[in-house]
């Protein structure tokens, strides 16, 4: 909650801090003084900081984000961008989650074998590469030669399967970037669980490997993965701005980018706050999930 | 020793007779009695220099550093020179890597493009490390309300993806190289601080810190002389890891158009942004090669980071 | 308990038979020998103890008994047989059967041994499911198993998670899981190390009681000789991967025939030994490393009666008496093993009070609660005196030490005085004299020495900071104190991680004495060390005290050691001093009920002396102290209506010996009847979050 408050402060501060006159940017270089004054008023820049803060907070609570300088209601832009990003995120997750977790589990189980090293190193290599670089490569070597892969990620008006097809390449790019990190976390968590005393106790009691894995290892091993997924989910929503540019996809990242370039402060505020809120919700959900998996965490959460 | 304040008698000589003195000095616990930290450092260096990851990484990074320092050595074409081959000529023909839509030599662009990224990324990382380590140590050792407040602020910064924050800050304060360096540094501070802070907290729990307090040492001494040396390894690892991220972040910012300097200067991210539309026209080389340059640099830095990490752990 | 079982027919009916077992660990490609031919039998129904110091291979042997090897462990030779079946040649499936139905193991740390995310009931039931029972049946069996280990309210325990139970309770649960299959062999690896004395006693009692109900043979691994003595019928002494002596516990401990055993027994303060009687015997040299190349007799480098033949021929097994044998060439000369030296202590405790602790309390604020860690602590000690401080976890001993040394500030009203002068609360505010006059030795040298510093720097800093001496003079001083602790100049340039435990602790002691202190607080300085190393350290401490007239506040949970070293002893419980008096009077017979129970709980290597007084429940959390006398909830002599209402005053029992109790001397001296259900364990309160 406090984080949200701090963010609000930052968001409100930005137009005030920007060098040059934001109102002029919005109104255009040739606007007359009267128009300029009007725009300044509209942007709320004449009010004191506290009032601006209050107005921003109010807009968040009422979900009324005002209108952009061009006249379009911000909420419209926001919701459509959000929806687009959500589609990409969901598809990406469907690819990432099973593959990374499986990869991590296998790497841990066959620790130090060739397979383990391959998984880890490939993961590391790919995760180093920026999302748009992966996107450009995919564009050049899959989209252009093969008709199946589309060069644009958006396909407005088409049915869900077609939309999916268009989203395939960007989702693969996301997978390439995130696989390594998640697989590594899973691997580390699994190794910890495998080497724990309670796993040893289970073996000593005569349980089969399969049972040990199922009953004891899984729930403990995946806790860090779940926690990390929460944070990464938050980043997926706004952080793919470069990828969106490559595939010309109107997601939240692109929205914020456009807002910045067009000095569209209402949209900018809305976009950034939304991303922050999604991040917080995602981490909260992850924390709850971890608490479900770990009764000790449950207890300390309950104390707070 | 009567000049030592508080002395009440000489330190006794080892007592003769009696079990305590008869005991020959016990042997050293670890590997057969070899002395010195130098042994450990030498072993680590050996592991490092012979690891393939390190060698490959150094080769890659070394190449790009050379390109940044002395581009003339590696290419005869200028970054904005209109080459004979004309625009959009294919690679592996007259020119090594082809030319882009403006007519510039792609290879030359790549060589000259190494400089901006290799200036911004290391400086930003170094800045972030210094600030982050300082903050982390202070927060971790002193705790209290300063720690609480700062933690919240850092969390706030962390809740937005780095790229977005970077866009916000750069837009607000203007697109110039110093601003970009500062922004990237600022955005990496929270993560570094978190790591160092957590290490500082663990160290503060150990008895040698308590022992220092009992000697009457003040906070500054404890943090800088006692705790910091134990955290240095972590700092080195963070440095190398963050450097990779810094390269990544700068490339993305460049791609999105947020750079200091002119748009026509050679810069990998910018080139990709300007040329990737050519891909659909089957002209892939003018954007793929800069993209490859980015990828290789990041991978090279990561290889070095990984091998240093492994060497420190051996 | 101490009867010798008639030797059963050999191997095929032995619960466990290990024959010539040799094992190595592969470290970085090279095999390092850890077991060099271990041979012993555990007969059905008997309790066999395996004792030795760290690195001797006893834990490795215990794991080998269930054929559990680490991934880099290799059996080079020998066999492990149980009930006629050879484990070393079993298939994986057969091994699983064996572990599920015929043998069980209980590990050292119960907290780690249970899965933190599953309920207790589910985990105990698992042991039965593995035997083939259905889920419903297993649940009922689990309930019954928990009852068997004397847990009251087993239903509620089954619904709990591991972190909600105390260490002692968890160990009972683990034992219950181990007993599920009514095993022929039960292996216990250091089952009570890390538990408080009273809790340890409970768990050991439980195992002892269960023995009469079960048909299991028990293999008990411990480094604490007292535990072995009180629990086992026979014992094997291990050194460097070999059993060097074996026999009944009485025989081996009262009449050792191997030089190592004799040395070991002489390094422990037995039979109420005091420092003024004689020194402790410190076995010279150090235990060999795993993988070291050893001559035929593994003990030769440290043995006082060795000769050339020991180096060339494998020492034979020499029978001493029925069932008691030793592996030695010179068993007949065992009497030549020198006794420890006479005490060099010329003892005069000064009359001036050096340290006064007056009405000191310390309350911590934790998440809105007040946690009183110390309440009204009042005592003092004189120049050259050793005050022993005894107490279990949560008693406040460490808090007291830290408050005296200026790390914590005492609450309003309490003062700490040095030679009569009140000292400032925090060390940074104190006068240099005061800071120099007090120092501390910590329990864990790995934590207490800065791993990034060399030994030289560690000592130098203390010298410079505490005495103000700099440069060449400081260097000289560093070399002096190092030499006094038998650290060579080579050691000075090393870092702590390159030193053994004993050496590290010497560095810690050197550091403590760097400023020529008047008072040294020793917080469990030898608890992390092997017994033979401990002896050297204790001798060193005693000698330093004698020469420097330093006063010690010696904190320890080991009553034998405290009795040896201390002139006076104080017993703490929940932040309060319950009893304080001279060592002699403490052991005379009349004590505070807590002390009484504590003393009866300690397993002594001299055999069970008196009846155990079981303490019910666990130590209350300091955040929630009981009303009235804080001990009343567990006191076997509590007087209803009095003890839970008013906190008792401190009363003198005899000159110099005071207790905090309502009972009179006569009441305290009455022999105590143990109630039949006194050993039920209740999960009274959740441990402090």
For the segment C306-329, what is each residue's pLDDT rounded down to a tens digit?
788 888 778 888 888 878 888 888
Question: Rounded distance, CA C488 to CA A9, Å?
Answer: 62
Inside any domain, residue C663: no
3-state helix, strand, coil in chain A (%, to 5): 80, 0, 20
When comparing pLDDT for B168 and C12, which is higher? B168
A11 pLDDT tier (thresholds 50, 70, 90)? low
Inside any domain, residue C226: yes
Pair C185, C308 in one domain: yes
Nearest to C429 by CA among C461, C448, C412, C407: C407
Tell me what pLDDT residue B35 has: 45
Of C573, C598, C627, the position where a domain reaches its end is C573
When comparing pLDDT for C330 and B180, which is higher? B180
> How far is residue C477 CA from its own chain's centroid?
35
Range in A45-59, C37-51, C216-230 with the lowest mean pLDDT: A45-59
B156–A239 C-beta distance less than 8 A:
no
Average model confidence (pLDDT) across chain C: 85
Tell me what pLDDT residue B4 has: 29
Which residues of chain B are within 8 Å of residue C430 when distances are taken between CB atoms?
A: 216
C284–B22 C-beta distance less than 8 A:
yes
Tell me what pLDDT residue A304 has: 47
The answer to whether residue C341 scores a pLDDT higher than 70 is yes
Range in A44-48, B213-217, C109-113 with the lowest mean pLDDT: A44-48
Phi, psi of C404 (to 5 degrees): -65, -35
Is residue C149 within 8 A of residue C165, CB to CB? The reply is no
Q: What percent of chain C has pLDDT over 90?
A: 21
Pair C469, C329 in one domain: no
When comparing pLDDT for A127 and B34, which is higher? A127
The answer to whether residue B23 scores a pLDDT higher than 80 is no
C540–B20 C-beta distance less than 8 A:
yes
Show the domains of chain B with their CATH numbers. Answer: 39-313 (1.10.3720.10)
Tell me whether residue B119 is exposed, middle or buried, using C-beta atoms within 10 angstroms of its C-beta: 0 to 12, 13 to 18, 19 or more. Answer: middle
C577 pLDDT tier (thresholds 50, 70, 90)? very high
C609 pLDDT tier (thresholds 50, 70, 90)? low
Per-range mean pLDDT, top range of A144-158, B85-99, B197-211, C165-179: B197-211
Of C300, C335, C370, the position where a domain reaches its end is C335
B161–A242 C-beta distance less than 8 A:
no
Average pLDDT over residues C4-16: 55
Pair C224, C368 in one domain: no
The CATH number of whichever domain residue C286 belongs to comes to: 3.40.50.300
B214–C440 C-beta distance less than 8 A:
yes
Inside any domain, residue C138: no
The answer to whether residue C504 scores a pLDDT higher than 90 is yes
When comparing pLDDT for C492 and B42, which is higher? C492
Taking the CA of residue B117 and the nearest CA in chain A, the distance in Å comes to 14
Instruction: Taking the CA atoms of B95, B98, B103 and B105 in sequence, report the sign of the dihedral they define.
Output: negative
A275 pLDDT tier (thresholds 50, 70, 90)? confident
Average pLDDT over residues B223-228: 92
Pair C329, C357 in one domain: no
The answer to whether residue C219 scores a pLDDT higher than 50 is yes
When comparing pLDDT for B170 and A19, which is higher? B170
For the segment C80-126, what is each residue's pLDDT rounded down to a tens digit?
888 878 888 888 888 888 888 888 888 888 888 888 888 999 889 98
Range in B158-162, B198-202, C405-409 with the lowest mean pLDDT: B158-162
- For residue C22, CA distances in Å to B25, C17, C39, C98, C243 come to 30, 14, 10, 22, 12
Tell me what pLDDT residue C683 has: 57
Tell me what pLDDT residue C464 has: 92
For the segment B139-155, what is each residue's pLDDT rounded down to a tens digit?
999 988 889 889 888 88
A294 Cβ under 8 Å from any chain C Cβ: yes
Average pLDDT over residues B96-118: 85
Tokens of A166: 């268009």
Tell me what pLDDT residue C400 has: 93
Of C548, C573, C598, the position where a domain reaches its end is C573
Pair C385, C504 in one domain: yes
Average model confidence (pLDDT) across chain A: 80
Taking the CA of residue A160 and the nearest CA in chain B, the distance in Å comes to 25
Average pLDDT over residues C147-152: 86
Inside any domain, residue C678: no
The answer to whether residue B125 scores a pLDDT higher than 90 is yes
**Reported pTM:** 0.83
For the segment C418-461, what is each residue's pLDDT rounded down to a tens digit?
988 888 888 888 888 889 999 999 989 999 999 999 999 999 99
Inside any domain, residue C298: yes
For the segment C261-305, what is each residue's pLDDT rounded down to a tens digit?
988 888 888 888 888 888 888 888 888 888 787 878 888 788 888
What lies within 8 Å, CB to CB, of C332 at 6+ separation is: none
C498–B29 C-beta distance less than 8 A:
yes
Q: 3-state class of B12 per DSSP?
A: coil
Phi, psi of A215 (to 5 degrees): -85, -35
The answer to whether residue C48 scores a pLDDT higher than 70 is yes
Question: Rounded distance, CA C204 to CA C443, Å?
Answer: 25
Tell me whether residue C9 is exposed, middle or buried, using C-beta atoms within 10 angstroms of its C-beta: 0 to 12, 13 to 18, 19 or more. Answer: exposed
Which residues of chain B are within 8 Å of residue C282 when distances are taken between CB atoms?
A: 19-20, 23
The answer to whether residue A12 scores a pLDDT higher than 80 is no
Pair C61, C197 in one domain: yes
Residues 16-75 of B with CB under 8 A from C: 17-30, 32, 35-37
Supply the angle between the helices B144-158 and A2-17 in degrees, to the nearest 10.
70
Give chain A's largest Cα–Cα span. Answer: 85
Inside any domain, residue C459: yes
The answer to whether residue B255 scores a pLDDT higher than 60 is yes
A151–B159 C-beta distance less than 8 A:
no
Pair C330, C367 in one domain: no
Sheet holding C234-239, edge to edge: C103-106, C185-189, C217-222, C47-51, C234-239, C242-248, C324-327, C317-321
Which residues of chain A are within 8 Å of residue C66 when distances are taken between CB atoms?
A: 204
Pair C391, C493 in one domain: yes
Q: What percent of chain B has pLDDT over 70?
A: 83
A20 pLDDT tier (thresholds 50, 70, 90)? low
The answer to whether residue A10 scores a pLDDT higher than 80 is no
Taking the CA of residue A73 and the nearest CA in chain C, the distance in Å comes to 47
Tell me what pLDDT residue B86 has: 66
Question: Rounded distance, CA C405 to CA C521, Å?
Answer: 9
Taking the CA of residue C520 and the nearest CA in chain B, the distance in Å comes to 12
Nearest CA in chain C to B229: C452
How many interface pairs between A and C have CB atoms less than 8 angstroms apart?
A: 72
Tell me what pLDDT residue B294 has: 92
Tell me what pLDDT residue B31 has: 36
Pair C324, C357 in one domain: no
Pair C311, C363 in one domain: no
Tell me what pLDDT residue B134 has: 94
Pair C420, C287 in one domain: no
For the segment A66-111, what is each residue's pLDDT rounded down to a tens digit?
666 666 777 788 888 888 888 889 999 999 999 999 888 888 888 8
Is residue C334 within 8 A of residue C262, CB to CB? The reply is yes
Question: Rounded distance, CA C36 to CA C32, Å?
Answer: 11
Average pLDDT over residues A2-25: 66
The answer to whether residue C7 scores a pLDDT higher than 60 is no
Range in A152-161, C144-153, C240-249 with the lowest mean pLDDT: A152-161
Average pLDDT over residues C250-265: 89
B217 Cβ under 8 Å from any chain C Cβ: yes
A28 pLDDT tier (thresholds 50, 70, 90)? low
Inside any domain, residue C408: yes
Which residues are C24's β-sheet partners? C33, C74
Tell me what pLDDT residue B30 has: 38
Average pLDDT over residues C562-583: 92
B224 pLDDT tier (thresholds 50, 70, 90)? very high
The answer to whether residue B37 scores a pLDDT higher than 80 is no
Which residues of chain B are within 8 Å of residue C511 when distances are taken between CB atoms?
A: 211
The answer to whether residue A274 scores a pLDDT higher than 90 is no
Q: Which domain holds residue C395?
A: 353-573
The ipTM value here is: 0.84
Which residues of chain C are within 8 Å of residue B46 when distances are taken between CB atoms?
A: none
The answer to whether residue A218 scores a pLDDT higher than 90 is no
Residues 182-221 of C with CB under 8 A from B: none
Tokens of C288: 């060999």
Neighbours of chain A (3+ CB pairs under 8 A): B, C
Nearest to C180 by CA among C146, C134, C218: C146
Pair C362, C222 in one domain: no
A161 pLDDT tier (thresholds 50, 70, 90)? confident
Inside any domain, residue C196: yes
Average pLDDT over residues C208-221: 85
Which residues of chain C are within 8 Å of residue A215 when distances are taken between CB atoms?
A: 115, 118, 126
Number of structural domains in chain C: 2
């Amino acid at each position: 909650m406090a984080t949200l408050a701090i963010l609000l402060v930052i968001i409100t501060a930005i137009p005030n801090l920007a060098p040059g006159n934001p109102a002029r940017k919005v109104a255009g270089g040739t606007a007359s003084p009267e128009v300029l004054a009007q725009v300044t008023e509209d942007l709320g820049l004449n009010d004191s900081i506290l009032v601006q803060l209050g107005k921003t907070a109010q807009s968040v609570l009422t979900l009324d984000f005002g209108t952009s300088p061009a006249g379009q209601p911000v909420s419209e832009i926001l919701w459509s961008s959000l929806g687009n990003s959500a589609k990409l995120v969901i598809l990406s997750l469907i690819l990432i989650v099973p593959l990374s977790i499986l990869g991590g589990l296998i790497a841990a189980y066959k620790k130090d074998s060739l397979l383990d090293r391959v998984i880890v190193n490939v993961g590391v290599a790919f995760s180093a590469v920026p999302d748009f670089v992966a996107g450009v490569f995919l564009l050049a070597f899959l989209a252009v030669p093969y008709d199946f892969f589309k060069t644009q990620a958006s396909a407005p008006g088409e049915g869900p399967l077609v939309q999916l097809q268009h989203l395939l390449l960007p989702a693969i790019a996301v997978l390439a970037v995130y696989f390594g990190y998640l697989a590594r976390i899973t691997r580390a968590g699994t190794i910890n669980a495998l080497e724990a005393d309670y796993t040893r106790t289970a073996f000593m009691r005569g349980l089969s490997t399969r049972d040990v894995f199922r009953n004891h290892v899984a729930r403990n091993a995946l806790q860090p993965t779940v926690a990390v997924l929460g944070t990464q989910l938050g980043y997926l929503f706004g952080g793919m701005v470069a990828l969106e540019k490559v595939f010309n996809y109107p997601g939240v990242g692109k929205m914020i980018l456009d807002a910045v370039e067009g000095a569209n402060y209402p949209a900018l505020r809305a976009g950034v706050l939304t991303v922050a809120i999604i991040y917080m919700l995602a981490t909260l959900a992850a924390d709850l999930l971890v608490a479900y998996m770990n009764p000790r965490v449950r207890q300390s959460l309950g104390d707070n | 020793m009567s000049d030592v304040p508080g002395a009440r008698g000489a330190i006794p000589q080892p007592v003769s007779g009696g079990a305590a003195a008869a005991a020959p000095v016990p042997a050293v616990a670890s590997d057969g009695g070899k002395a010195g930290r130098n042994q450990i450092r030498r072993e680590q260096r050996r592991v490092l220099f012979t690891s393939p990851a390190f060698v490959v990484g150094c080769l890659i990074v070394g190449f790009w550093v050379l390109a940044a320092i002395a581009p003339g050595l590696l290419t005869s074409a200028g970054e904005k020179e209109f080459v004979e081959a004309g625009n959009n000529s294919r690679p592996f023909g007259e020119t090594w890597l082809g030319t882009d839509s403006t007519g510039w030599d792609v290879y030359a662009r790549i060589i000259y493009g190494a400089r901006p990224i290799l200036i911004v990324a290391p400086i930003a990382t170094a800045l972030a490390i210094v600030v982050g380590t300082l903050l982390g140590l202070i927060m971790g050792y002193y705790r209290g309300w300063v720690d609480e407040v700062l933690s919240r602020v850092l969390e706030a910064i962390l809740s937005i993806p780095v790229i977005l924050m970077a866009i916000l800050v750069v837009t607000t304060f203007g697109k110039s190289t110093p601003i970009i360096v500062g922004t990237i540094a600022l955005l990496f501070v929270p993560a570094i601080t978190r790591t160092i802070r957590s290490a500082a907290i663990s160290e503060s729990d150990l008895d040698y810190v308590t022992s220092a307090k009992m000697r009457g040492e003040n906070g500054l001494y404890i943090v800088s002389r006692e705790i910091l040396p134990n955290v240095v390894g972590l700092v080195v690892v963070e440095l190398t890891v963050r450097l990779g991220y810094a390269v990544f972040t700068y490339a993305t910012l460049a791609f999105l158009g947020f750079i200091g300097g002119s748009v026509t200067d050679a810069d990998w991210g910018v080139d990709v942004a300007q040329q990737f539309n050519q891909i659909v026209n089957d002209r892939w080389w003018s954007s793929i090669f800069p993209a490859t340059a980015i990828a290789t640099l990041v991978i090279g830095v990561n290889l070095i980071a990984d091998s240093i990490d492994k060497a420190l752990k051996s | 308990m101490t009867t010798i079982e008639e030797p059963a027919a050999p191997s095929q009916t032995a619960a466990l038979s290990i024959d010539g077992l040799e094992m190595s660990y592969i470290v970085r490609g090279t095999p390092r020998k850890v077991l060099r031919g271990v041979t012993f039998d555990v007969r059905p129904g008997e309790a066999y103890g395996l004792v030795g110091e760290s690195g001797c291979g006893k834990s490795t042997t215990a794991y080998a008994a269930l054929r559990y090897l680490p991934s880099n462990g290799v059996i080079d030779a020998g066999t492990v047989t149980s009930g006629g079946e050879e484990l070393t040649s079993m298939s994986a499936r057969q091994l699983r059967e064996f572990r599920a139905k015929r043998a069980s193991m209980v590990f050292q740390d119960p907290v780690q041994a249970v899965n933190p995310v599953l309920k207790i009931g589910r985990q105990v039931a698992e042991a039965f499911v593995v035997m083939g029972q259905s889920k419903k049946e297993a649940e009922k069996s689990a309930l019954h198993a928990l009852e068997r280990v004397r847990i009251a309210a087993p239903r509620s325990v089954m619904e709990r998670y591991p972190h909600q139970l105390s260490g002692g309770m968890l160990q009972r649960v683990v034992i219950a899981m181990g007993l599920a299959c009514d095993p022929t062999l039960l292996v216990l690896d250091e089952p009570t190390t890390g538990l408080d004395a009273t809790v340890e006693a409970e768990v050991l009692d439980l195992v002892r009681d269960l023995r009469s109900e079960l048909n299991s043979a028990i293999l008990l691994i411990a480094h604490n000789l007292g535990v072995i003595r009180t629990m086992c019928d026979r014992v094997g002494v291990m050194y460097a991967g070999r059993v060097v002596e074996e026999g009944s516990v009485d025989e081996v401990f009262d009449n050792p025939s191997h030089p190592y055993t004799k040395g070991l027994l002489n390094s422990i303060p037995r039979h109420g030994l005091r420092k003024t009687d004689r020194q402790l015997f410190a076995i010279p040299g150090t235990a060999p490393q795993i993988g070291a190349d050893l001559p035929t007799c593994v003990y030769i480098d440290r043995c006082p009666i060795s000769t050339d033949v020991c180096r060339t021929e494998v020492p034979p097994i020499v029978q001493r008496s029925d069932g008691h044998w030793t592996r030695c060439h010179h068993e007949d000369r065992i009497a030549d093993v020198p006794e420890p030296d006479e005490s060099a202590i010329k003892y005069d405790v000064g009359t001036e009070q050096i340290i006064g602790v007056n009405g000191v309390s310390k309350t911590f604020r934790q998440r809105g609660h007040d946690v009183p860690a110390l309440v009204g602590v009042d005592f003092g000690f004189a120049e050259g005196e050793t005050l022993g401080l005894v107490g279990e976890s949560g008693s406040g001993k460490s808090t007291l030490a830290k408050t005296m040394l200026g790390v914590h500030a005492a609450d309003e009203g309490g003062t700490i005085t040095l030679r009569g002068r009140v000292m400032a609360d925090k060390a940074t505010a104190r006068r240099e004299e005061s800071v120099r006059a007090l120092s501390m030795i910590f329990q864990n040298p790995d934590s207490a020495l800065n791993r990034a510093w060399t030994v030289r720097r560690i000592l130098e800093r203390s010298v410079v900071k505490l005495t103000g001496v700099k440069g060449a003079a400081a260097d000289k001083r560093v070399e002096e104190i190092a030499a006094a602790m038998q650290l060579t100049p080579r050691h000075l340039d090393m870092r702590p991680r390159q030193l053994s435990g004993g050496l590290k602790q010497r560095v810690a002691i050197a550091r403590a004495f760097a400023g020529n202190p008047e008072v040294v607080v020793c917080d469990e300085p030898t608890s992390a060390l092997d017994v033979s190393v401990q002896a050297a350290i204790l001798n060193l401490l005693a000698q330093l005290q004698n020469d420097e007239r330093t006063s010690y506040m010696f904190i320890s949970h080991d009553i034998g050691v405290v009795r040896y070293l201390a002139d006076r002893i104080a017993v703490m419980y929940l932040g309060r001093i319950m009893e304080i008096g001279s060592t002699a009077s403490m052991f005379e017979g009349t004590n505070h009920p807590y002390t009484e129970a504590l003393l009866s709980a300690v397993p002594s290597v001299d055999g069970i002396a008196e009846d155990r007084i079981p303490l019910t429940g666990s130590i209350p959390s300091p955040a929630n102290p009981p009303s009235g006398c804080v001990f009343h909830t567990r006191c076997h002599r509590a007087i209803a209506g009095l003890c839970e209402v008013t906190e008792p005053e401190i009363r003198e029992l005899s000159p110099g010996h005071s207790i905090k109790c309502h009972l009179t001397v006569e009441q305290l001296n009455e022999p105590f009847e143990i109630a039949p259900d006194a050993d039920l364990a209740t999960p009274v309160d959740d441990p402090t979050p």
